[in-house]
Structure 1
Amino acid sequence: MSTPVLRRGLRSLGTLLITLSAISPASSVFVIAPGVLTGAGSGAFYAFLAAAVVGVFMAFVYAELGSAFPSAGGEYTIAARTLGKLPGFMVLGIMIVTQVLIVAVIALGVGTYLSVVLPGVSPAVVASVTCVLAAIVAVFDIKLNAWVTGVFLAVELLALIVVAVLGLASPARPFTDLLAHPVAPGGGPATISAVMIATAIAIFAYNGYGSAVYFGEETKDAGRGVARAVLMGLGVTVLAELVPVTAVLMGAPDLGTLFSSPNMLSYFVRARGGSTLDTVLSLAVALAIINAVLAIVLISSRLVFSSGRDRAWPKAMNRALSAVHPKFGTPWVATLATGFLAAALCFVDPQILTVVTSTSIVVVYAALCLGAILGRRSGATAGAKYRMPGFPIAPVVALVALAFVLYVNATDPVIGRPSLIVTAVIALLALGYYLVVLRRRGGWQLSDAVEEEATPAPVRETS
C-alpha cells in the first residue's frame, strides 16, 4: 500500500497566515496579557520584551529543525530523528493529548466574548459548536483554509491597531516612565523577580510560531518556506502584541484602576473609546478565537494524521486516521476526529483542561533544543536548508529560560505543579505503550514521506 501523501498547496504566505491565526495575537493581548500585567504591573513591558528575546532563540531552533524535517508530525518526528525513537514517541504522547485539549481550551473563550451579543448562552455549547464547524471547514483544501484564516486574521490585527492608536494617540504618561519607573499593581516599584515571573507568562503569549512545521508536507519549497514562516511568525507576533500592550500601559487613565479591573482591556477600551467600541472589539476577539480554533484544528489534525501514517495505533485506527480526501488532499478523517473529540471535551471542567495543557509545551521545547544540539553533532540535521546563526547559543539560552519557566511552574500549587505531574504521567504512559505494545509488534516505523524533501540520518533506536 502506498504511503498517504498530503497535497502541497501552500506557499510561505499561506503557511504564515495559518501560523499567525493559531497564535492569535488578539487573544493573547486580551486574554493572556492581563495575567502579565497582574504580576508585573507596568513592568509587563520588560516581561514581553524579555519573552521576545527567548522567542527569537526558540524560533531559530524551530526554523532549523523544521527545515531539516518538514513533516506533518511536527515536533515528535523531529525528536525521533534527533534524539531517537523512544523520546520521539514520548513527545508524540504528550502532544497528541494536549493538542486536542488545547482546541477545547481555546474554543471555550469564544462564549466569553460572544456573551455581549448572546447573553445567557452556555459557553460550553458555543465552544462545542465552534469545534465542529471548524473541523468541517478544515476538511476543505488547505489553500482555501489559508485564505479563510487570513481574512479573520486581518480583522484581528485591525482590532489590535485600534487598541494601539487609543493608547499612543493621547498617552497619559510618557514612554520613559515605563522604562525608568515601572510600577507594581500595588503602587510600589515593580521588582526584577516579579518581572521575571511574568516573563514566563509572556512566553506563552507569543507561543505558536513553531506551528508552521506541521505544514511542511503541504508547503512548496518546504525547507526554506517553513523556516521563513517560523521567523516571520514570531516577528509579526511580537510586533502585534508588544505595541498594543505598551499602548495600554501608556494610555490607561489610571494604572491602579487598570490593574484592579476584572477585565483590563475592556476597562481601557471603554475609558478611551466608549462602550460601543468595547462591544465591537469584543466581537473581534471572538472572531479571533474562532479563527484560532480553525487553525489549531488544522495543526492538530496533521499530528493525528501523521501518527496514524506512522502506524502508532491499532491497524484499523491507523488506516482511518491516515486517510487523505481524494478531492481536497487533506487528512479528512483525522480532521473530523480532532474536531468532534474537542467538541466533547468542551464540556469537561475548564480547570482540568488547563492543568493538563499548561506545561506540556515547555517539555517539548526542551526536547527540541536538545534535538538541535544533538542533531548538529550526529549530522541528523545536515539536510536543513536553514541554519541558525551563532549555534549553539540559541538552544542553550532557550534551555536556561525553559528551566526557569519549569521552576516557576513547580512553585505554583494550583496549576503549574499539577500540570507538570500530569505531563510526566502522560510521558510515562507513552513510554509504557512503546515498550509493551510497539516493540513487541516489531517497532515503530516512521513514514518515508517525512523525508521527501530532506535526507536525514537513519533513526537511532534508544530505550
Structure 2
Amino acid sequence: MAMNASEKSIDATNTGQPKQLRRGLKVLGTVLITLSAITPASSVFIIAPGVLEQAGTGALWSFLAAGVVGIFMAFVYAELASAYPLSGGEYAIVGRTLGRLPGFLILGLFLITQLLILAVIALGVGTYLGVLLPGLNGQVTAAVVVIASAVLAVFDVKFNAVVTGIFLAVEMAALVVLSLLGFLNVERPIGEVLLEPTVLSGQSDLAPTSVGLIAAAVAVAIFAYNGYGSAVYFGEETADANRGIARAILWALGITVIAELLPVTAMVLGTPDLAATFGAENMMNHFVIERGGSTLNTVISLAVALAIINAVIAITLLSARLLFSTGRDRVWSRSINRGMASIHPRFGTPWVATLVTGVVGAAICFVDETLLLVLTGTGLVVVYGSLCVAVLAGRRNGSTAHAAYKMPLFPLPPLIGLGALVYVVYQNALDPKIGRPSLIVTGVVLLIALAYYVFVLRRRGTWELRGPEEDNSTTVDTPATTEPEKP
C-alpha cells in the first residue's frame, strides 16, 4: 500500500522524527508572514524620516524610484523562487545556479546579516514602548522580545501566520490613521510638491532639493521596501510553492509600496510647517502630535511597537528555516547538523533551529547598535547582486528552466537591479561613518566564509545542497553541485 504524505515524512529509522517541514500554509499565510517581516509601519516611522531628512519633499520621488527598482528585484526573486522554493532561501538558489562556492559565500554573509537584523529590529521596541514606560531598558526589552518570539515561532506555522496577521492588521490600521491625518488636512498641492521639491537648509529654512539629493536618498528608500523576497523561506511549507511563492513575493512588494508611500505622501502634504517637521527629532511623531494630539501619538507609538514585535516573530521564523537548511546541507559538525535539521513531531517546525535563533538573537541585542548597523549595512546589497547574476545564469545554463514563473522584460529587470545596486555601493562608499566601514566588514565576512569553505567543507567533502524529498522533481541538483568535492 502506498504511503501517504505524513507517513512519508517520518524517518525510516522509526525515530518518529519528521524529515520534512509540514506544508500547512496557503499563499495568503505566506504573504502575511512576509509583510510582517517587512513591517511597513516600522519603515515609515524609522527609515522614511532618513529619506525625508536627506531629500525633503523630494523623498516622494525617491520612494517612487525605489518602488520601480523593487518591482524589478521582485521579478528576479519570483523567478528564482519559483524554480527553487527552498527554506535555504538565497544561498540555496545561488548554489544551484552559480555553484556551491558562490552559494556558500552568500550563506556566510546572509546567516550573519539575518541574525544581526533580528537584533536591530528588536532594539526598536524599547524606543516606542518608552512612550508609555519611560526609562525602559531597551536592550533587555529587546532580548526578552526575541526569546518570547522564538518560543512562539516553535508552534505550527499556520498558527504563527494567524498571529502575525492579527498584529499586521493593527500595524496597517496605524498607517491608515497616519494617512488620514494628512489627506484630510492638505496644506500644499501634490503638483507643487512633485515639481518644486524642497529640503531643510540650516535650522528653519527650506531650499530647493537637487536631483543629486533625491537620487542619493533612493539608496535608503530601497531598503525601506526590503523583505518581500523572504517569502521563499516558506517555500517548503506553502502549497503549490512553485507558483505560490512567486505570487506571494509580488503581492508582498505591491502592498508594501502602497502601505509606505501613501502615509509618507500624506505627511508631506498635510504637515502644517514643513521646516518644523523636517527639523523635529522624530518627524512622524511630531506630525501626529500636531494633527492628532499626544494621546493619538501614544496609541500609534504602541502600534509601532507591536509592529516591531511582529517583525521579530516573522524574522525569527525565516531565520530558523535558514538555520534548518544549513543543518540539512551538512554545514556544521554531525551533532549540530542533526539538531539544526530536527523537526518538531507535533508542530512540524524546525524547533531546535528556532530556539537557537532566539538565544543568539537575544545575545546580540546587547551589542552596540551603531556597530550592528555597520555589520548589516551592505550585506544585502551583495545578496541582491548575486541573485541578479543567478537569474541571468539560470536562463543561460538551464538551471531555472523548470520555473513555473518567468519574469517579463527579461533581461531588463536583473540588469537594472545590478545598476541600482552598484549605485547603492557607491553611496555607501561615500559614507565614512557607517557605509564605508560596512563595505569593509562585508568583505571580511566573505573572506571568512571562503576560508571555512576551503579548509573545512571542501576537505570534509560532505556539504550537499538538499531539498525536501517530496519535491525532488524541482530541487534535484546537477552533478556539478551535489557530488562531494575533493581536496
The offset of 1:457, in angstroms, is 5.3
In 1, the alpha carbon distance for the partners of 2:186 and 2:467 equals 57
Within the candidate set 120, 123, 129, 1:114 is matched to 129
The offset of 1:374, in angstroms, is 0.3
Q: Is contact 2:29–2:161 with CA below 8 Å preserved after alignment?
A: yes
In 1, the alpha carbon distance for the partners of 2:212 and 2:413 equals 23
In 2, the alpha carbon distance for the partners of 1:40 and 1:459 equals 50
C-alpha distance 232-80 of structure 1, shift in aligned 2 (>3 A) = same
The offset of 1:252, in angstroms, is 0.6
The offset of 1:459, in angstroms, is 5.7
The offset of 1:448, in angstroms, is 3.8
The offset of 1:293, in angstroms, is 0.2
Match of 1:274 in 2: 293
The answer to whether structure 1 residue 9 and structure 2 residue 24 are counterparts is yes
Within the candidate set 223, 241, 244, 1:204 is matched to 223
Match of 2:4 in 1: none
The offset of 1:177, in angstroms, is 1.3
Match of 2:8 in 1: none
Within the candidate set 359, 363, 377, 1:358 is matched to 377
Match of 1:460 in 2: 480
Worse-superposed segment, 447-456 or 340-349:
447-456
In 1, the alpha carbon distance for the partners of 2:315 and 2:475 equals 28
In 2, the alpha carbon distance for the partners of 1:432 and 1:4 equals 31
Q: Which deviations, in whole Å up to 9, do the C-alpha atoms of 1:203-260 show, x marking residues without a partner?
A: 0000000000000000000001100000000000000000000000000101100110
The answer to whether structure 1 residue 248 and structure 2 residue 248 are counterparts is no
Structure 1 residue ranges, 4+ long, deviating more than 3 angstroms after superposition: 450-453, 459-463
- Matched letter for residue 60 of structure 1: F
Within the candidate set 334, 347, 368, 2:353 is matched to 334
Within the candidate set 156, 172, 180, 2:171 is matched to 156
Instruction: Report the 3-state secondary structure (helix = DSSP H, G, I; strand = E; otherwise coil) of the residue aligned with 1:445.
Output: coil
Match of 2:5 in 1: none
In 1, the alpha carbon distance for the partners of 2:209 and 2:181 equals 25
In 2, the alpha carbon distance for the partners of 1:265 and 1:76 equals 37
1:2-401 alignment runs, 5 A limit: 4-186=19-201, 187-401=206-420
In 1, the alpha carbon distance for the partners of 2:313 and 2:55 equals 32
- Matched letter for residue 388 of structure 1: M
Q: Which deviations, in whole Å up to 9, do the C-alpha atoms of 1:333-388 show, x marking residues without a partner?
A: 00000011101111111111111111100100000000000000000001111000
Match of 2:7 in 1: none
In 2, the alpha carbon distance for the partners of 1:455 and 1:345 equals 34
Instruction: Report the 3-state secondary structure (helix = DSSP H, G, I; strand = E; otherwise coil) of the residue aligned with 1:454.
Output: helix
- Matched letter for residue 172 of structure 1: E
- Matched letter for residue 22 of structure 2: R
Instruction: Report the 3-state secondary structure (helix = DSSP H, G, I; strand = E; otherwise coil) of the residue aligned with 1:185.
Output: strand
In 2, the alpha carbon distance for the partners of 1:253 and 1:82 equals 53
C-alpha distance 455-342 of structure 1, shift in aligned 2 (>3 A) = closer
The answer to whether structure 1 residue 440 and structure 2 residue 455 are counterparts is no
Q: Is contact 1:81–1:456 with CA below 8 Å preserved after alignment?
A: no
In 1, the alpha carbon distance for the partners of 2:88 and 2:163 equals 23
Q: Extract unaligned runs of 5+ from structure 1.
A: none
In 2, the alpha carbon distance for the partners of 1:243 and 1:443 equals 50
In 1, the alpha carbon distance for the partners of 2:373 and 2:129 equals 21
Aligned residue pair count: 463
The offset of 1:456, in angstroms, is 5.6
The answer to whether structure 1 residue 421 and structure 2 residue 440 are counterparts is yes
What RMSD in Å do the two structures reach over aligned CA positions? Answer: 1.3
In 2, the alpha carbon distance for the partners of 1:234 and 1:36 equals 19
The offset of 1:452, in angstroms, is 3.5
Q: Extract unaligned runs of 5+ from structure 2.
A: 1-10, 13-17
Q: Which deviations, in whole Å up to 9, do the C-alpha atoms of 1:37-77 show, x marking residues without a partner?
A: 00000000000000000000000000000000010000000
Q: Is contact 2:118–2:315 with CA below 8 Å preserved after alignment?
A: yes
Match of 2:430 in 1: 411
Q: Is contact 1:85–1:459 with CA below 8 Å preserved after alignment?
A: no
Q: Is contact 1:373–1:395 with CA below 8 Å preserved after alignment?
A: yes
In 2, the alpha carbon distance for the partners of 1:56 and 1:224 equals 18
Point out which structure has higher relative CO (alpha carbons under 8 A, 6+ apart): 1
- Matched letter for residue 150 of structure 2: A
In 2, the alpha carbon distance for the partners of 1:460 and 1:261 equals 57
Q: Is contact 1:222–1:453 with CA below 8 Å preserved after alignment?
A: no
In 1, the alpha carbon distance for the partners of 2:45 and 2:259 equals 12
Worse-superposed segment, 323-332 or 418-427:
418-427
Q: Which deviations, in whole Å up to 9, do the C-alpha atoms of 1:294-327 show, x marking residues without a partner?
A: 0000010000010011000111110111100000
Q: Is contact 1:209–1:234 with CA below 8 Å preserved after alignment?
A: yes
The offset of 1:455, in angstroms, is 4.8
Instruction: Report the 3-state secondary structure (helix = DSSP H, G, I; strand = E; otherwise coil) of the residue aligned with 1:50.
Output: helix
Instruction: Report the 3-state secondary structure (helix = DSSP H, G, I; strand = E; otherwise coil) of the residue aligned with 1:188.
Output: strand
In 2, the alpha carbon distance for the partners of 1:411 and 1:159 equals 35
The offset of 1:10, in angstroms, is 0.3
Instruction: Report the 3-state secondary structure (helix = DSSP H, G, I; strand = E; otherwise coil) of the residue aligned with 1:213.
Output: helix
In 2, the alpha carbon distance for the partners of 1:121 and 1:40 equals 33
- Matched letter for residue 167 of structure 1: G
C-alpha distance 192-294 of structure 1, shift in aligned 2 (>3 A) = same
The offset of 1:460, in angstroms, is 3.4
Q: Is contact 1:81–1:460 with CA below 8 Å preserved after alignment?
A: no
In 2, the alpha carbon distance for the partners of 1:452 and 1:395 equals 28
In 2, the alpha carbon distance for the partners of 1:456 and 1:35 equals 44
